Structure 1
Amino acid sequence: MARMFTLECLLLLSCLSSCCSIQVFEFQGSGVQLDSHLLHANELSFTPLDFLSFCVRLRFYFLWEVSGFLQVSDNSTGQMMHTIQAEVNLNYIRVTLSKLRRYHFLKQQLRALTWHHVCVTYGDGVTISYLDGLEQDRRQGFLGESVTGTHIKIGSWDAYNSFSGQLSQANIWSRVLTADEVAALADCTMEEEGDILPWKGPWTVNGDISPSQVSLDDLCKGASGTEYFVFNDFTAHSAFQVCQGLGGFVPTPQLPEEYNTIIRTITEYHTKISSLCKSFWVGISDEKEEGVWIDIQHQSQLHPSWSVAEPDGDKLENCAIAEGPQQFADTRCDELKCVVCAVPRRPVWKLLGACERYQRNVHFVALQDNSSNLIFQGYSDFRIIQNEDKSEWVWKDWHTGQTMASLSNAVNDVPIGRQTWTLTKAMCSQTGGSARRLLLTPCGTGYFSCDDASCIPLYQRCDLKFDCHDKSDESGCHLVKFPPVYRPDLPPEINNNNFSQPLPIALYINIESADVDTSSMHMHVNFNVSMTWQESRLSFLNLNEDYTLNRVPYETMQRVWVPVIDFTNTKGNHITLTDHQTTMVINMLGKPRLGDNTQPEELEVYAGPENPMSVRRKYSITFQCQFNLKMYPFDEQFCNLELTMLSASSRLLVFDKVATTAVFNGNPQLVEYFVGDVDIEFHNERDFAAVFVKCQLLRRSGFIIMNVYIPSLCLLVISYLTLYFTPSNFQVRILASLTSLLVVATLYTQASASLPKTSYFKMVDVWLLSSIFFIFIIIVIHTIIDRARDWDAISGFRRMAPSPSPSGNVPLSNYIYMKNLRTSSVDNVPLDMENRRRNSVGLSTRNSQSANQLDIQSPPEELQELISFKPVHEIIILGARIFVLAILVVFHIVYWTVVLA
């Protein structure tokens, strides 16, 4: 009864094992190319296919030039024809369906020793490839003929086109699988056998093939999990550095389960040193602050579980080891202990700087044997191992036994990171025996490898601050990659096309300040000139989105072609310069492509046509202007900054009309002007392209108005008011007018001295000359008035019109004056002018005093006719007042209309 129960249990376990595991075949495990394959035991017979899908789960060991894993053949006509062929490589899958052959490039590279699920579907002229359930590529094309077949071969095409690794779940369907079905097959949530070819077989084994059973978990999650590398005799800092370089970290087991996992790994896989690793380093330290233990990986504070009486080292012991589950002890960091590195499963290692043609030759997987020997197994024929006496590391072809390079005195006794190797075979234009820097790194796409093989984001490379622990990310920051032949004296062409259009040069002119001298017609300008162009002959490296970090060193700038522009209308000869005051930057606008492996570093290469170059320099230059001062001081001027291309004619170089801009960012309020708009005029049609930067200058006329117009207007008014002075005060009237004339003439002289000599009149000239002319007319009128008064005196008229007194009578003084006119001399001849003027003034004064006390009755009848007429000089005065006022009003209306217009 007991034996029966035991047998039933064994059968049950066998059934459970078969349900949860999949048949797997290993091909060419030794790495030797052979025609090892599975052949379907039965001859196939299916109708010609116009729609089909095939899937396979694979895990490769080595990649050859052609790693064929599937072949369907048809010999129904007596001649063997291959109707389906599939091969796998690092970056692509090549599929042949009947007469249709296409490369399907992968979005992510295949990884050695990692299970991948590959599917290809065809229908309606579209071939779609999938990797691990995700669509990778789709290609157009028709079969030409329907797919037929009688034989199916798995694992190789022939001895030279074979697959090395493990294969499972190869199925072929006579329909197109949907994307959801492919994803379900990839993550093992659906199991469906192919109706054309089911994986269950039956199969005939031929050659070096080993069958096995693998659980679904290992098949579907083969790339997950953690691997452990164990090393002996490492200091704490070396342990941290090596583990980080391996792409992992030094674990800190805080739970007993975590500690037991590490111990079990050491015991099972590293039997040779398991007895030596009773204690091992953990990833904590209190070097920064005593008593504050920091997790090295996450840079966060931890509170570890210490052994009894630990920690006890004070400032001398700043690192820690694990002596048992939850039993940590502090110790000196320079002691030699075991270290366990926890590494995510299967990081891809690359050897950069080797100039290898095939990518598979420089891809490696880090392994460790039972003796804890570290091995870097290549994807193809190469591997990196230590020699027998462990004196150096060698990179060799294990098939031929040829050594490519060797490394002595490796840092921390491991070959990882950027180190100097000795070549034993010529490579990269270097002969055997020479030294060359090579980089062995686990860093993936988008990361930069520090010298110690630790990884930082690629955008932190050459950003003017240290991000690597060893500060290697700011070394060798070369931005420009020159072609083998480069002439800095020849201008570039668009896309390196000799038949392209002229290369456009974009200008950005930033005027910071300006000083305008109207008298000399000069404008002194402080401005920045930026020139931007596309240099299609160059490639760029290590660019950042922040263009200020993409500054080209002076030595490199001297080797690059830079356009030369002449400042044409300047005082003296001035051109753009490329000197120590010049800044050259590269603007990252395009998408990069990955660089090759000729350099021992990760490179993103940017194409020259997509990432323009710019040079910027500040200039302080005096430009000659052509001012039209007819409307001065109410004028609007324009001063041009004329720039002419000197590097080549307009057949090759022109100014970019779209991207060229000019701005004024200084204080727009100058001494005499207000800076307005800044416009640009292009003259690319000239023999040498030119551009005019047109600066608008609006006159600030307040100074002239306050110092010229208002004073001259006041003097003009004063001159006009002299027409209202007492006519008898000729000296006062004439002196006031002459003084006004002299002052206005002085203002005219001063205004003219501050302006350039012109052959035309300016508005200020018109104003001042008109003021002088008006004052001159007033002086002439005063002279005429004075002569008219004399004539009135000779003719016997009274000096003033009679003014009746309040009583209605005429003052006595008027009669006395008229009487004196007739009796001024015995012979009735008038007295001389001076006496007559003096007598008349005296009589007028005395008679005006008596007139206040006495009114005389109306004059006799013979005098009535004489009294009714005004003297001529009064008529002239009245006319002069009206005439001068009229011409002044008309002049001002016309003048200010012209000014305002």
Structure 2
Amino acid sequence: MNLYQPRTLNSYARYYFSKDNSTQRQAKEMSLVTLCYRFWIIQYKEVSPFFSYAYSDRADNALLSFQKVNTLDFYYNDEKEYSQLVLDDTVEVWHHHCLVFTYPTYKIYVDGVLAKEGRLAADSAVIPLNGTIYLGHDQDSYDGGRDTEQTFSGYLSQVNLWDYPLEKGDIKNMAECLINLRGNIISTDTTPFEFSLAEINTTEITRFCQKSKRAVFIPEQMYLDIAIKFCNLVHASLYVPESAEENTKLTVQAKKFNDICVGNSYRLMYLGATDRVKEGQWLRVSDGKPIEYSNWFAGEPNGDNKDNCLVLRRNDDHWADIVCDFELCFSCGTTNKDFLQLRGLCEEKEHQTRFLLEGHMNSKPYFRGYYNLIIYHSGQKEWFLWNANTNTTLASLPLAKASEYPIGRHAWEVRSSFCNNAIGKSVVLGLSICTTQEFMCTDGSCVHRSVRCNLLDDCLDRSDEENCTLVVFSESYQNYKPPPGLAFGIPLKISPEVNLVRFSQIEDLNLAFSMEIEVALVWMDQNIHFNNLKAEEGKNQLSEKEAEAVWSPEIEFLNINDGRMQLLKTGIYARQVGEPDLPVFTDVKMDTIFQPKSSRLVKRQHYYASFNCQFELFSYPFDTQTCQIIIKLASVDRKVIDLENATVTYSGMKYLSKYEVKNINILLVPSGGYAVMEVTFDLERRYSLLVLRVFLPTFLLMGIGYGTLFIKPKDFDTRSMMALTTLLVLYTMFDQVSSNLPDTAYIKMVDLWFFFCIFTIFSVNIIHIWVEFLPPGDDDDIFLKRDQVAPISSGFKKHRPSSPRRAGLQRKCCTGLER
């Protein structure tokens, strides 16, 4: 029974209990109820009612079952039950429902499976049988109050009503087309319904459970690869029959277009199979599986390794194989789930944007919407968007060629006002198979949303990198003033992120250090939102024009050394910090939108500069210097903008040539009404080399100087020269070390060390001189006797003590010996 008649109340199936006097229906009421029906939806309305029973204006919903988009609801004794049962919302597929009421509970079976059970809200179980039943209409009053937007468009069959609960097994067998039970109260197979403008067909029950693939013939000559792409764009695949029945239907359909598809050739159309992979093994191009059915012409396939394409012959329904160098017509195979979506309208539900590729109008396939819209060809070079309910043409699309289709994004001309679009206006609409998680290329192909505006061409037509505006400004945006804070009267909060990139030089003499530093200022601008942000911040850089158009804070450094500062690089970026808005199914641009709360602006500035640092050198070379970089937020004072959540990182080497970098911190310190941050870090001197170069040599020199005290007293020249040389070397080292340090008014520990070393060696030298002027002691006779054992040199003058102890003894006169 076909009730597809848009915007009419004259198509219905009705039954009056009061007019039926048959002995089968002597029951006056029901307290136990089973309602089963089978349906095939062609077109959705606001509500798609299946069964409606009313016995008075007050009891207009005594028993009502209907589907609204993808949910099933029902009334029992005028009480609405919200089952919240989600159904398959595709069209053109058979489904079977059974509602079993055993007051005060109910059960709902969908396609033979128990899908929902619950308790009824009705006060009574009894339903009188003295009213009117409508199939495909909702009665808002007894035998009336019907609405064109609450009608069923499609097929209804096997509508049965019992006054007892049906067994679960019987329901399952009915749904699986194994049995055909008829209701003892009503049955569309036997009950004398009144039909008006309804098409009545009789078919085998098994047909309801068969899954068939629809084939839509495309009367356009294309090469095989282009034909495959076209079918993919309409959510289909190149069709190849899988049975003799399907082959016959395809042949009948294709031969209607002989004048378009063939000339004098025997080739009529491409079929969706090829043996390109392996000669003699014919595989479906849709899934690569071998074909199970074939209908070869005598002598075909001919075994030629170049004949890799399968065709349907013109004069019969047989197949042949040919080379793939011809432009031929073809057919696209689809299922009920293979729908397209039309974006750019103002529909309330995503369900309303769905379209199916259907039969032919003006020798072209057309696209039929789930609800009331149809896209069809005019017969020339124009496509129309038509509203079947109002019988009006909403928009038209002129194309350059008659063979072109409205797949993808196109500018349509408004013919009748819709969605606040005035007549004559150009509106962009997009017809494709792309989901809300995908981006629609101009040609109708789909790529994932994440690749939109990623600087790479992912669409073949490169449309994914077009119109890549990152920032969307509000109408009242002003870039000369900071954006507002989170609440009225609260300053805008800016989060600084400081990165100490690397030290290039630490100048002890100049009390300064030079380094690269990157300062990032992060803030939220509530007057803008962003499109297509990427997780990687570096891919979200604002263009030069966009960067000039947004407000951004300014900074200055307060402890620059001699004005030595250079801005190496600057840029403004957008940062993704939250989830984007949910995709809008009507958005034809299909951009991913991030609201201010889900994004931040980041201004990055990379500097090379020299900064002052007050070195404290008292502990040199075991000193640790604490240096700082002072950064001021110079745009406006803290009443308008302020700093918070400051962070600092160091990405350079921890161990420098002379220092180790430690204890890096950042502190927010208001100064003069402005926000200031101080980045501090410690430079701990690496003293190991200095120990080797300064302290170890001075220890050795001290040892040498002290060792001269153990030279024989008579070797004054040796002792004095060694001690004096040691003193001079110590002083030279002291001067060299001091020259590598800044001049300070205070004494450093290294100075004290050198003072100690120099004073010690100086004391040794004084001892040597003092020993020379001591009077002779008793021990000198011992030295004398020891010296007389050996021949006396003519140049020998006198003996001197060889140790400090002997140097302290009183010496005897040895005048004769000295001569």
Matched, 1:62 2:62: no
Could you say what secondary structure the match of 1:156 adopts?
coil
CA shift in 2, pair 1:102/1:554, >3 Å: farther
CA shift in 2, pair 1:288/1:263, >3 Å: closer
Find the counterpart in structure 2 of residue 432 from structure 1: 423
Aligned residue identity for 2:341: K
CA shift in 2, pair 1:651/1:585, >3 Å: closer
Contact kept in structure 1, 2:224 and 2:324, CA below 8 Å: no
Contact kept in structure 2, 1:36 and 1:159, CA below 8 Å: no
CA shift in 2, pair 1:639/1:79, >3 Å: same
**Worse overlay, 35-44 or 716-725:** 35-44
Could you say what secondary structure the match of 1:27 adopts?
coil
Q: Deviations over 1:415-445 (max 9, x none)?
A: 2222332333456776533444321113345
Find the counterpart in structure 2 of residue 826 from structure 1: none
Aligned residue identity for 1:505: S
Counterparts in 2 of 1:338-357, with a 5 A limit? 338-345=329-336, 347-356=338-347
Could you say what secondary structure the match of 2:375 adopts?
strand
CA shift in 2, pair 1:623/1:451, >3 Å: same
Q: Which one of 405, 416, 422 corresponds to residue 414 of structure 1?
A: 405
Contact kept in structure 2, 1:463 and 1:549, CA below 8 Å: yes
Q: Deviations over 1:368-398 (max 9, x none)?
A: 14874322223333221222x4231111234
CA shift in 2, pair 1:693/1:374, >3 Å: same
The aligned length equals 770
Offset at residue 515 of structure 1 (A) = 3.2
Find the counterpart in structure 1 of residue 707 from structure 2: 721
Contact kept in structure 2, 1:27 and 1:36, CA below 8 Å: yes
Q: In 2, Cα distance between the equivalents of 1:90 and 1:286?
A: 44
Counterparts in 2 of 1:632-651, with a 5 A limit? 632-645=620-633, 649=638
Offset at residue 407 of structure 1 (A) = 1.5
Find the counterpart in structure 1 of residue 256 from structure 2: 272
CA shift in 2, pair 1:732/1:575, >3 Å: closer
Find the counterpart in structure 1 of residue 686 from structure 2: 700
Q: In 2, Cα distance between the equivalents of 1:574 and 1:69?
A: 83
Contact kept in structure 2, 1:462 and 1:542, CA below 8 Å: yes
Aligned residue identity for 2:90: R
Contact kept in structure 2, 1:129 and 1:137, CA below 8 Å: yes
Matched, 1:768 2:768: no
Matched, 1:162 2:150: yes
Find the counterpart in structure 1 of residue 8 from structure 2: 32
Q: In 2, Cα distance between the equivalents of 1:640 and 1:176?
A: 86
Q: Which one of 619, 625, 628 corresponds to residue 613 of structure 2?
A: 625
CA shift in 2, pair 1:803/1:58, >3 Å: farther
Could you say what secondary structure the match of 1:630 adopts?
coil
Q: Deviations over 1:268-326 (max 9, x none)?
A: 44552257565213458999999999986569999x999577859x8xx9977454745
Matched, 1:391 2:370: no
Contact kept in structure 1, 2:90 and 2:336, CA below 8 Å: no
Q: In 2, Cα distance between the equivalents of 1:872 and 1:647?
A: 81
Find the counterpart in structure 1 of residue 356 from structure 2: 365
Q: In 2, Cα distance between the equivalents of 1:177 and 1:250?
A: 44
Contact kept in structure 2, 1:551 and 1:586, CA below 8 Å: no
Q: Which one of 219, 222, 236 corresponds to residue 231 of structure 1?
A: 219
Q: Deviations over 1:589-646 (max 9, x none)?
A: 53651224242x4444444434556565543333333433332211233433445555
Offset at residue 554 of structure 1 (A) = 4.5
Q: In 1, Cα distance between the equivalents of 2:598 and 2:117?
A: 28
Matched, 1:756 2:739: no
Contact kept in structure 2, 1:241 and 1:452, CA below 8 Å: no
CA shift in 2, pair 1:217/1:722, >3 Å: farther
Q: In 2, Cα distance between the equivalents of 1:216 and 1:338?
A: 35
Q: In 2, Cα distance between the equivalents of 1:742 and 1:581?
A: 56
CA shift in 2, pair 1:93/1:227, >3 Å: same
CA shift in 2, pair 1:503/1:298, >3 Å: farther
Q: In 1, Cα distance between the equivalents of 2:61 and 2:663?
A: 75
Offset at residue 197 of structure 1 (A) = 9.8
Contact kept in structure 1, 2:526 and 2:596, CA below 8 Å: yes
Q: Which one of 636, 653, 656 corresponds to residue 670 of structure 1?
A: 656
Contact kept in structure 1, 2:471 and 2:531, CA below 8 Å: yes
Could you say what secondary structure the match of 1:407 adopts?
strand
Q: In 1, Cα distance between the equivalents of 2:594 and 2:167?
A: 38
Could you say what secondary structure the match of 2:395 adopts?
strand
Q: In 2, Cα distance between the equivalents of 1:54 and 1:719?
A: 119
Q: Which one of 729, 734, 740 corresponds to residue 743 of structure 1?
A: 729
CA shift in 2, pair 1:803/1:693, >3 Å: same
Matched, 1:244 2:232: yes
CA shift in 2, pair 1:322/1:143, >3 Å: closer
Q: In 1, Cα distance between the equivalents of 2:281 and 2:226?
A: 21
CA shift in 2, pair 1:705/1:32, >3 Å: same
Aligned residue identity for 1:350: Q
Find the counterpart in structure 2 of residue 893 from structure 1: none
Q: In 1, Cα distance between the equivalents of 2:165 and 2:735?
A: 99
Aligned residue identity for 1:266: L
Offset at residue 263 of structure 1 (A) = 4.3
Contact kept in structure 2, 1:417 and 1:440, CA below 8 Å: yes
Contact kept in structure 2, 1:662 and 1:693, CA below 8 Å: no
Aligned residue identity for 1:385: Y
Offset at residue 745 of structure 1 (A) = 3.0
Q: In 2, Cα distance between the equivalents of 1:409 and 1:197?
A: 54
Find the counterpart in structure 2 of residue 521 from structure 1: 511
Contact kept in structure 1, 2:521 and 2:602, CA below 8 Å: yes
Aligned residue identity for 1:29: Q
Q: Which one of 86, 90, 96 corresponds to residue 111 of structure 1?
A: 90
Could you say what secondary structure the match of 2:323 adopts?
strand
**Scaled by the length of structure 2, what TM-score is found?**
0.74
Q: In 2, Cα distance between the equivalents of 1:191 and 1:759?
A: 112
Q: In 2, Cα distance between the equivalents of 1:330 and 1:246?
A: 26
Q: In 2, Cα distance between the equivalents of 1:217 and 1:329?
A: 38
Matched, 1:377 2:365: no
Structure whose CA Rg is larger: 1
Q: In 2, Cα distance between the equivalents of 1:561 and 1:597?
A: 32
Find the counterpart in structure 2 of residue 12 from structure 1: none
CA shift in 2, pair 1:355/1:700, >3 Å: same
Aligned residue identity for 2:735: T
Greater helix fraction, Structure 1 or Structure 2: 1
Q: Which runs of 5+ in 1 are unaligned?
A: 1-24, 815-838, 849-869, 876-901
Q: Which one of 583, 593, 596 corresponds to residue 594 of structure 1?
A: 583
Could you say what secondary structure the match of 2:238 adopts?
coil
Find the counterpart in structure 2 of residue 330 from structure 1: 323
CA shift in 2, pair 1:637/1:84, >3 Å: farther
Matched, 1:446 2:437: yes
**Scaled by the length of structure 1, what TM-score is found?**
0.68
Q: In 1, Cα distance between the equivalents of 2:85 and 2:164?
A: 23
Contact kept in structure 1, 2:628 and 2:680, CA below 8 Å: yes
Offset at residue 715 of structure 1 (A) = 2.8
CA shift in 2, pair 1:286/1:154, >3 Å: closer
Find the counterpart in structure 1 of residue 779 from structure 2: 801
Q: In 1, Cα distance between the equivalents of 2:484 and 2:174?
A: 53
Find the counterpart in structure 2 of residue 844 from structure 1: 798
Offset at residue 672 of structure 1 (A) = 0.7
Could you say what secondary structure the match of 1:525 adopts?
strand
CA shift in 2, pair 1:621/1:371, >3 Å: same
